[in-house]
Every structure is written in structure tokens, then in C-alpha cells.
Chains A and B, each alone.
Chain A
């Protein structure tokens, strides 16, 4: 098990190194001159040139790349934001808790609403409830998130005046972003759960349990669900690892002061350190979450744990043969 964790951690570091190089290269092609953004067009060209030299923007590509990699991976220094003049890591960490809260609450809601909906629809198959859920899920999987969010703003903020349209402050500000962020996830979880449960209903072990004369409730909760929910839980892990990177558009709609908006402002302001830092840290956060989720599975599902443990042994056996 430990070997597996160490191996995954090493892979993680290598992946992040490559991601940093890729992001640096991609942003290298970004059009626009940050010196114009920082100093404006009113100062003489010589001043801008001086700034470029001071910041090292005229240096060869490889030199700049090397400097960036050294700062990031040896000193954990993502540079200073051109716009806000504070270190990127500080600006990021100020906003991360908000994005993380938004993402985690959304995943939580997707789970506690989506899965029971799917289970009950599957158990009452072909009833009105089931059909209704399918229609609901279909519509909310197909609705564009940002549009749904803005329509909510029109209804609840403009027409009814119940909720504040944007910004952050009281708990009321969180309601619409969370709903907008989780509605399609609820629909997806419900659908996936429904089809997973339907598949299990047909299994032989369910028939056996019924044949033994178990009460229906016991058949469902003790025999069917633990097996049916394995793929759903797998999907949940994916949602967890994506939850911090997936809120950019919603944050933009609600002017939510989170990481996504920080990055978008960085893009609009040619604030390279901010964009690079955000993407890199978000990639790291989602990679770490994926790792944790994988490890948790190992403890939950004995079959997966067996894979980790036997991996080394199997490999040795293969080599010998």
C-alpha cells in the first residue's frame, strides 16, 4: 500500500512539472503586452521597455521558462500579480476557501439529492414518478448552466426580489450559485443511479434474496444498493476532483469572488502569473483529490485494495515467467 502511495506521489510531481511547462508554453502565445496593461499607454515607450527588461520579459524563452520552474518548484513562488501587486499564492489562498466551499457543497447536494432520486425512480420503474424524473433529468442535463443561473437571477432577484443577484456576503448570496452549480449534477447522478440500480435488479443474487423470502426493504437496502452504488460512488470521486476547476462560468455569472473569477480577471488583464498560478494550483488540487479518492476506494472496496497490494507481487511473477 505504501509503495503504491509513494509511486502515485512521484507520478503526481512529474505530472505537475509537465503541466507547468505546458501552461507556460500555452500562455507564451497569448497576444498582448502586459507592460501596456501595467503602465498604460500614457507613459513613454522607454519606460515600458525598461519595465520589460526589469521583469525579464525580453529574455529568451528557455531562460524565462527555467526561471519560472525554479521559482515555482523550489521556492513555491508563483510570482506577483501584475494587477493586484500581491503574490499570486496569497491572492489564490484568499479565494480558494470560497470556491472550495461552493464546489464541495454542490457535490454534497448532488449526492444527497441525486442518488435517492435515482434509487426511488428505479424501484418504482415506469411509474409517473420515474417518468417525471427522467424528463427532469433530461432537461437539466441539457440546460446551459450560465443561462439557467441568469434566468434564476431574473426570477428571484429582479422579479421577486428574494435573493441578491451577485457578490458575496450573507448566506443568501450562496443559494443561487450552489443551485446553478449542482442542478445538472443532480440530474446526472439521478440518471446514473437509476440505470445502475435497474441493472442490479436483474441480477441473480437479487432473485435469490427474494426467493429466500427476505422482505423487499431488506432486499433493496442490504443486497441491491451496496452493489448498485459502486459505479455511482466512482462517479462521485470524479465530481470531487473536478469540483474546484468547474465553477469558472458560474463564478463569472454571479461575480463570485472565487478562484475562477480570479483567473478570468487574470486572462482579461494579461496577468500571466495569476493565470499560470491558478491553473497549476487547480491542477494540483484536483490531482491530490483524485489520489485521495482512489485511496479511499481502496479502503471501501476490498477488491480494489487487493489490486494495490498484489500489484508488486504480480509484476514480479510476470517478470519471472
Chain B
């Protein structure tokens, strides 16, 4: 039952994907961003290989040491090597950013498409729930959830995801509403497809691509938000070497030893910058209007 048109469409789709990749590869900023980001992930994932010291080893002779050949980023107030802590801490910051963005994306896709496609009362109720949810400004919601749940990685993930879900549901819903009136859905309906099949087999693939782009853009923001939470004393707390928590710990020495919080911030900046550069390039490459 394979029609020639079907093949044609499939081939076209693939070439479109390749075209996007080609356009992406021609963007130097996107490629630089991608390379830096991959490097950051590799270094953090292989932390034991790259880190010069144990992140928790306290060298009492090197307390608050300024950067030198032995300690490239210096040492903190307990004599721990800052560079090693940054490399190990990246594991927390990166996985937090990714997990929260991915969970948010999953909920957005699952409920956003359902709600947008169903329309009517379901849509109305869901949107009113989102209204209530979003009435509390995002960062405030994160803060009080984080305060209520306590410090720790799973708690922080829940707090941050809860703040982001309504927004992503809304975004996906808007896309689903646009897709809803497309002809291919009418065709699927005419072929007596079940609702679930229409939703997840026909509609979802068209929504996934733009959602992934949106999510890529959010990872950077999520990393910064997590760092901000840790910085104000919620989220993840020292001695865990999460970047925001390291900034928070270094803050007490800001007047005397500013390098304690300089480097964690630089690490966040480089990571978020590389993700944003890549995300931007990806968005431009996917947008046919910006082809030139």
C-alpha cells in the first residue's frame, strides 16, 4: 500500500532536514557555539580525567590562593581547587538545565497538543488552569516551591519544572491550534484514524521540531535560573559544587577574594552563551523566511 507520492514526500522531507543542517553548518556562530558546548559537556562528563584535583580535597596551604600555574583558577576559602570544582559542578548545572527543559518540553508536547487539538471545554479549562498557574510570576513560583520542598537536586528540578510547564503547554497549544485546521489532519480524519493516532502520529511530528528549537533556547535560561536559585540560598547548596552555589559561597569573600566567584560566573556565561549561539543558529536555519 505504498503510493509513489508517499515516497516522494518522504524524500523531500529528508532533503529538507539535510538542507537545514547545511544552512546550520554555514553559520559560524552556531558552529562555534556547538563546539564549545560539546567541549563543555565532554569535560564535565569526563570530570575525573580533566579535573586536576579532587573537588573536595582541602589544601590548607592554598586557602584563597589566587590563580597560578598549580591552580589555574585559584583556590576557594577552604583550599579547594576552583577549576576542579567547576568541572565537577558542571555536571550538576548541566544536568539540571537539561532535565528541567526536557521535562517541561515533554509536558508541553503531551498536554499542549491534546488541549489544542481537543478545543472546546477541555481547552477552556486547561487554559484557565494555566492562567492561574502563570498568575504567580515565574521566578517567585520557583522560589516558594523551592523553599517549600527544601534544598536538593530532585526538589530543585520539581520547583523549576513547575514554573516552566504552563508556558510550554501554552506554546505547544498555539502550535497545535495552527496545525488543527491543516488539510492533512482532515485527510487523516477522513481515513477514520483514531484520535490518538491523529494526535501523536500525524500532528506531533509537525510540532516537535519547533518545540525542540524552543527548548534549546530555554536550556540556557534554565541553567541561569538554577544558578540564581542556588545563589539566593535555595536550590542546591554548598558544599555541592553547583555553579550558582559556588557563586553564593564566594559572595562572602567578594571584597577580598573576588576570584572565588569570578570563575563560576564565567563558567555559566560560557556555557549559556554557547547554547544560545547554537539555539539561535538552529532557529534561523529552520526558519525558511530567513533563508538568504
Contacts and interface: CB of A to CB of B under 8 A. Distances in A.
The yes or no verdict on A and B being binding partners is: yes
Interface of B: 29, 131-132, 135-140, 143-145, 147-150, 220, 224, 227-228, 231-234, 244, 247, 251, 254-255, 258, 261-262, 264-265, 268-269, 272-273, 276-277, 280, 289
A30 B137 contact: no
14 contacts: A16-B135, A19-B135, A19-B136, A26-B145, A27-B144, A138-B29, A138-B280, A143-B265, A144-B227, A144-B272, A146-B228, A148-B265, A242-B138, A282-B137
A142 B144 contact: no
A22 interface: yes
Contacts of A143: 265, 269, 272
A153 interface: yes
A55 B228 CA distance: 34
Contacts of B224: 142, 144-145
A237 B177 CA distance: 24
A147 B258 contact: no
Contacts, number: 129
A interface, size bucket: 35 or more
Interface in A1-28: 11, 15-16, 18-19, 22-23, 26-28
A233 interface: no
Contacts of A144: 224, 227-228, 231, 244, 247, 265, 268-269, 272
A154 B262 CA distance: 10
B272 A154 contact: no
Nearest to A135: B29
Given A249-B232, A283-B137, A147 B261 contact: yes
A43 to B, nearest CB: 26
Contacts of A16: 135
Nearest to B266: A147
Main secondary structure of the interface of A (DSSP, over half): helix
A22 to B, nearest CB: 7
Contacts of B255: 158
A267 B150 contact: no
Interface string A230-258: 00000000000010111011001000000
Nearest to A154: B258
A153 B231 contact: no
Given A144-B247, A249-B231, 13 more contacts: A18-B135, A22-B136, A27-B147, A29-B148, A142-B220, A142-B224, A142-B272, A143-B272, A146-B231, A244-B137, A245-B136, A248-B139, A267-B147
Contact of B137 (A29, A148, A150, A245): A245
A267 B148 CA distance: 9
A248 B269 CA distance: 20
B137, B220, B227, B251 — most chain A CB neighbours (10 Å): B137
Nearest to A264: B232
Nearest to B133: A22
A65 interface: no
Nearest to A284: B135
A309 to B, nearest CB: 22
A225 interface: no
Contacts of B280: 138
Given A142-B273, A150-B251, A279 B135 contact: no
A264 B145 CA distance: 13
B136 A31 contact: no
A128 to B, nearest CB: 16
A190 B123 CA distance: 35
A287 interface: yes
Contacts of A38: none
Contacts of A22: 132, 136
Interface in A147-163: 147-148, 150-151, 153-154, 158
